[in-house]
Structure 1
Amino acid sequence: MALTLNNNTKDRPLCCTMSSCCSTKDGCSANGQGNGDKIHDEVKEYYGKKVKTQKDLETKACLMMPSKIPSHVKQALSAVHPEVAARYYGCGLVVPECLEGAHVLDLGSGTGHDCFALAKLVGEKGHVTGIDMTDEQLDVAREYVDYHRDKFGYSKPNTDFVKGYIEKLGEAGLEDSTFDIIVSNCVVNLSPDKAAVLREGYRVLKPGGELYFSDIYADRDVPEHIRKDKVMWGECLAGALWWEDLVTLAKEVGFCTPRLVSAGLVNLDDNKPMKDLVGDIKFVSVTYRLFKLPQNTSKEPAQVVYNGSVTGHETNLKFDALHTFQEGDVVEVDAELSAILQESRFADDFTVRPASKKSKADPKLCCSGAKGVPTNPFEGPLDKESSSCGPKGCC
């Protein structure tokens, strides 16, 4: 059953509340920006002092994982040191496809759980950098750099960790157009300035690069009384962005339209005080992918054929909530997705040709119409696989 999105704030400007972005807009007061340092300090205390293991979290919002994980990803996750794994707090799985040789940045890397798994997947020629603002978590991550080098059989470590704020990557020494992929797991919601996070992410990505991240979103603006609760901040709910604001922010920064990969409702039934506090607000754990296309990229609908070359996805490749590409099938895609597949690291994995004006004339054509961009995480059913293009279920 699909959820009904509450649009009671749809016509208001993108305000500078801490649940939005803290960028000054006409008609808004910058009440969020002045509290940015306070929010940072409270989050650092929460994850540096209070939360030592997963058992210390008061909700499961930051522990949501997908039900299906590719076998090669499972192997990489299982290789992470137990102490690092015990201090993992993530609302999804931030392991995108096509990683070999990539340079990856993890925003809010914590003790390095995702970094070390990704280090295995990018291989010895790739590299993973984690950035975090919490000393206690960075200490754990750095302690196990050499352990994972030896575990993976590399001649030298392919991970490093820097201290800094995800809103100020330049201050941490991260340069323009450095990374192929940025990942983040349940961290952007902890930032009091989400516009700055996206701007900095866009800056350090190479043209054709991707921001692939999981986070908590709300079906409306989170009200002031929740945003003032520091436990709700630490539990990833007070800072949750209204999902429509993410779409607006991403486009303003320069990213393509956020493409929804997966979504699952956050259940607060096991914490009555928090459930009473949020009332009828709904929260969802979402994975989105945002691409930075090169300037002046031409965009035209196209037919694409997946060649089955992505490791672990040889038979089919789930790209977003509407597109699962079966190897060898001809699929029509929208103009933006066509550009993404041609300009990103997926370029060698697809054959692209002009869209046919008579789509049904091609006997191998599976999808005879581009399906657009999936963005709304509250459109049901949640936690379902994307539509499949191929003999077992042509979309």
Structure 2
Amino acid sequence: MSTVFEKRLLTGDRGAGILQKLWQIPWLFVLLLCAVGSIGYVALYSAGSGNPDLYATKHALRFGFCLVLMLCIGFVDIRLVAKLAPLGYIVGVGLLVLVALHGEVGKGAQRWVDLGPLQLQPSELMKIMLVLALAAWFHRASWDRVGNPFFLVIPAILVLVPVALIFKQPNLGTSLITAALGGAMFWAAGVRWWKFAAIIGAVVAAAPIVYENLRDYQRARITTFLDPESDPLGAGYNIIQSKIALGSGGLWGKGFLQGTQGHLNFLPEKQTDFIFTMIAEEFGLVGAMGTLALLMGIVAFCFLVALRCRHQFGRLLAIGLGTNYFLYIFVNVAMVTGSIPVGGVPLPLISHGGSAMLTTMIGFGLLISAWVHRDAEFGPAQD
């Protein structure tokens, strides 16, 4: 069948091209995303105490819209995506500047842009734009060129600009994730290990200075992470209640809509940052591990795309998107289990909220495009 399609494509049959791309869509991956989105609906239905209008219905509508958008992006030629990557980065930085000047303020932070039906958090979109920009910069560079420190100045600036703007909002958690994402892209592109060692040394040396310039609530998160019981009714309250909910779920959980910590409102932000705790309390260790298995399946597919792509742009794009989603999962789960300080990082496709879902699905649309066009020709590497 693929041979027939290829012949018709060579003769200019666009209908065949669309059908071929439709045939090549990784439908098992799409089904996996739908499974994770369904878990989000069930968890948010419970978070709303059985009232779907609070969170679950909005989640379903957003997911449906984003799913269609994702599939549409998947049809776009990956070479066009590479050409538009610099423009996307400029738009992302422009939105961050707009947030700094006229952004919506919520919970003591200025992180959102009001777009009418959607309050967009540009820092989430910026991570996708950063991955695209770095993939476009590195994809035709030879091994020797990547080893030249001067060649790395511009991509380093590409990382530092959004990190600084996001940190200024203030949004320490997302700025650190953005920096880590940039580091992963540098590593995937072939940057030598000793450069990472030098950067890590500089970060460690600067850590005390950064700590002194943090906001009071940010420093409180770090100190209560080390000793939550030191302030059980203040900064340590969230993580203490989260641990109680996680432990009370046991192996099989308390049952759907039966979670006491969540439904008695002891668990904070149960519909957003602590949604994984809701799942663990009601469905136990089995439900929590099953959810994690599906989430890691998404990450695994990202790296499968990286392995199958014949062009460097697709490989770097897939690695960046997979790393981004993994960092979401790792930070959120580590946060609610008390392994790292609490920060405002949602669990995409499961937590309530539009920005994380929209930007995640845009990223997965680009991932599908990389898969569909995994044999595209980009030309030789540049020395």
TM-score (norm 1): 0.25
Higher-Rg member (1/2): 2
TM-score (norm 2): 0.26
Normalized per residue, which structure has more strand?
A: 1
Normalized per residue, which structure has more helix?
A: 2
Q: Which has the higher contact order (CA 8 A, sep 6+)?
A: 2
